[in-house]
Structure formats: C-alpha cells, structure tokens
Structure 1
Amino acid sequence: MSSSPVLQFRIDLPFAAAEEAVRAALAVEGFGILTEVNVAAVFKSRLGLDTPPQKLLGACNPDLAHASLEAEPSVGAFLPCGVALREGEAPGQTLVALQNPALLAGMFSTPGLETPSLDATTRLTRALSSIGSPV
C-alpha cells in the first residue's frame, strides 16, 4: 500500500464526463458523495477569478466510516474521504487526487482502525483504476 498522503490518477475524459465516471466508479465500491465544492464557482463568485474547472468531493462508504469511528471517534476529523478533480494539462484530460485513508491507521495507532482504513484505500484505488491510470 502506498505511503503517499495523496493518490493521483489521470482520466482521459473531459472534466464533466470524468466527474460522472468518478462518481459512478465510487458508487460501485460503496461510496456516496456527501459533500461537493465547485472550486471554480467559488473563486469566480468570491474573488472574481476565472479558473479551470475544479471540484472537491467528500466520498463516504458508510460501513467503513462506521467501523473507523467505532475504533477511533477522533478519525471523524478526516471524514469523508477527499477526492479532488481538476482539468488536466492536455485537452480532454482530468486529474484526480484522493486522500490515502490507509495512513490513518499509522496516525492514530488504534486497534481496529487498520482494517477499515486499508479497505477504504483499496476500494478508492480500485474505483479510480477502473477509469484512469495512476500518475
């Protein structure tokens, strides 16, 4: 399992299509989207800046979240799992970065947290690997 705090993938689809594909792939692995921030829209409305498309999604697998919170209630500060989408450098390409939940077990050293955190990383990686390639 990667020790990087962020796992990154390239999807060879335009931003809107890649976002749909990410949501669908996450759903297959049991993750729903609890939060969504349209970064480009926030920058436009608050700062008057025109920026390329970028979104932050909060993905949650209820079974894994429950197991994690039962093992270590403080882990809630790291939930839901962050998934960041942004337009890639090449036309028709989207880059996706997601937090690596496997690192939570080492951060807390709590018995019972390792299994759900590793499972979350496995599922998130499998979801993104099904539609893109690791960067």
Structure 2
Amino acid sequence: MTYTHSISVDLDFSEAVDQTRQALTDQGFGVITEVDMRATFTAKLGPEAADAVGDYLILGACNPTLASRALVGDPHIGALLPCNVVIRRSDGDEQTTIETIDPATMVELSESPLVREVADDADRRLKAALASMGGSAG
C-alpha cells in the first residue's frame, strides 16, 4: 500500500507552496502547522544536512468538520491528524513534488466506520486539490 498521493509540477518551490495553500483552501482545508525542514536542518544539523534534503516544507492541513467527525468516531485518531502535505524540491530538480497523506492510512489503523467515511471524504478533497494544480502523478 502506498501512503501518499503525489504529483510533480513545473513550478518553482515558492510558487508550488502558494498554489498548494490555495488548492487546500479551495477544498476546505486550512494550514494549521508548518515545518520548514531546510531551516530546521540548517539550524540543528548544519547546511550539509539541509542541502541533502533541499527545499522541504510540511504543511499540516485540517478541515475542522472532517477532523471533528473523525475524533467522534475514534478519539485516538488525533495522533494521525492533521493531514500532512509535503512540498519538496531538491537542488538540481526540474520539478517540485507535492505529496499528501493518503487518508486510507487512517482506515488501516481504526475500525470505526465513521473514520472510514471521513477518510473517503478527505481523500476526495486532497486528490481534487492535487488535480487542480495539474502536473504529473507520481
């Protein structure tokens, strides 16, 4: 089982970040967390470690309605929230990769029928966000 949905786009990193944020907003998600791995690695491990990863941003996307329903269905599911969305581009790459978690991963770990419904809805929305950006599936 793969655990992400992925596309590659002909956008520089900054443009891909902006378009990803808009695509998520259009599907009812807000970004509630943001982790800049390049900056973190530079600060904690040094520039060589940061350069090995390249530009790498993790957005924690949350649709409050879906999250609320999932938590009612299985309070433990909060350990898997929010839905992570990665935008990454290594030095020398010609395209930027955008990946979202496949919400079916949650279904594998929870027996709640409500979690399955929420995961299916989140999956449709995340796939639609990626599709709206064009690019090639990876």
- TM-score normalised by L of structure 2: 0.89
Q: What is the aligned partner in structure 2 of residue 43 from structure 1?
A: 41
Query: 5 Å matches for 1:1-135?
Result: 3-49=1-47, 50-51=50-51, 52-87=54-89, 90-91=93-94, 93-131=95-133, 132-135=135-138
Give SS of 2:113's match. Answer: coil
Give SS of 1:66's match. Answer: helix
Give SS of 1:113's match. Answer: helix
Total equivalences in the alignment:
132
Deviations 1:49-86 (A, max 9, x none): 24221111100011110110111110000000011111
Deviations 1:88-124 (A, max 9, x none): 5633x21012111123123211121111111101100
Instruction: Calculate percent identity across the aligned residue pairs.
Output: 36
Give SS of 1:65's match. Answer: helix
Q: Which deviates further from its counterpart, 79-88 or 28-37?
A: 79-88
Unmatched 5+ stretches in structure 2 = none
For 2:46 and 2:3, the matched residues in 1 are separated by 31
For 2:107 and 2:38, the matched residues in 1 are separated by 33
Residue pair 1:33, 1:59 contacting (<8 A) in 2 also: yes
Give SS of 1:13's match. Answer: coil
| Greater fraction of residues in helix | 2
Q: Which deviates further from its counterpart, 14-23 or 51-60?
A: 51-60
